[in-house]
Amino acid sequence: MPELPEVEVIRRGLEPLLAAKTFAAPRILFAGSIRHPSAAQFRRRLPGRRIDGLGRIGKYLIIGLDCGELVVHLRMTGRLVFLERGKPPARHLRAALPFSDGSMLYFSDMRKFGGLWLLESAAERDLTGLGRLGPDIYEQVDRHRFEVLMRSRCRARLKPLLLDQRFVAGLGNIYVDESLFRSRLHPCRAVSTLSREEIARLYEAIRSVLEEGIGCGGTSARDYVDARGEQGDFQNRLSVYGHKGRLCNCGTAVTRITVAGRGTYYCPQCQKE
DNA sequence: GCTTACCTGTCG
DNA sequence: CGACAGGTAAGC
């Protein structure tokens, strides 16, 4: 479900709620969601560790601990919801992580793709996939660096490249389609054919789309909810994603094709190849 | 690059 | 019933 804006909204929401909390004994309902160490070791090692900050790199959430860190990736349908008290999520609960004060952090995940890693130190991050990420598109890539990066990959096509987390980290299917629409670039466009101005336009489109996504509290197209279980609002502002047949401002119908194995929405009039 | 696999659910 | 879903890793 979540791309960079959704993970960032969760991070910002959880940060004040989890500040200085100490984990108690967790309940693991689906061991496969615990990627490292074993579920048994995870149960044994988590209690007593105190939270000292929340970070994010790409789509990974990093819960910093006094000893090590708890890394979370939500993949398609993962949810991380904090509750002071009250009933756990009714469906697809995979892990319940209580704190010493009785409050709870719930991880639920319909499709079971998401995962949690308990690391003893940041040196173990390679266990998670974090080590393979390119620079975070929101925090670490300015306009100049984006152009340098693009110029290094001229044989690629735009959408597959932007989705590649080794190239830049954080963009997913929704925000790539919206960014390409906003910059009037075709998803299959060869990077080698882009002018300097087009690269700059794409960069600004990505920035503004991510900012707006975060400002709206994320996109709840299907499953996404924030740290308090509330839906985002950006789904109401999507120009093309999920809107096959809807008329663009130019009067042309939004088209759906498959690119990089993903459903891809664009305006064939505004986004010529 | 592309395809397939991982899972469970919804929609047409 | 098949197609598709916010992601990624593995294997051509």
Cβ(A256)–Cβ(A241) below 8 Å: no
pLDDT for A201 beyond 80 = yes
Kindly determine whether the C-beta of residue A110 is less than 7 Å away from any atom of nucleic acid strand B.
yes
Kindly determine whether the C-beta of residue A150 is less than 7 Å away from any atom of nucleic acid strand B.
no
Q: Which nt is closest to the CA of A3, judged by C1'?
A: C6
Q: Which residues of A161-188 are buried (b: 16+ CB within 10 A; e: fewer)?
A: bbbebebbbbbbbbbbbbbbbbbbbbbb
pLDDT for A1 beyond 70 = no
Average pLDDT over chain A, rounded to whole?
Answer: 97
Question: Which has the minimum average pLDDT: A77-91, A98-112, A204-218?
Answer: A77-91
Closest residue (CA to C1') to nucleotide B5 in the complex: A113
Nucleotides of B under 7 A from a protein CB: 1-9
Specify the DSSP class assigned to residue A22. Answer: B
Residues 6+ apart with CB under 8 A from A46: A23, A25, A26, A70, A97, A118
Give which of A237, A246, A233, A225 is closest to A178, Cα–Cα: A237
Nucleotides of C under 7 A from a protein CB: 4-9
- What is the per-residue pLDDT for A89? 83
pLDDT for A216 beyond 90 = yes
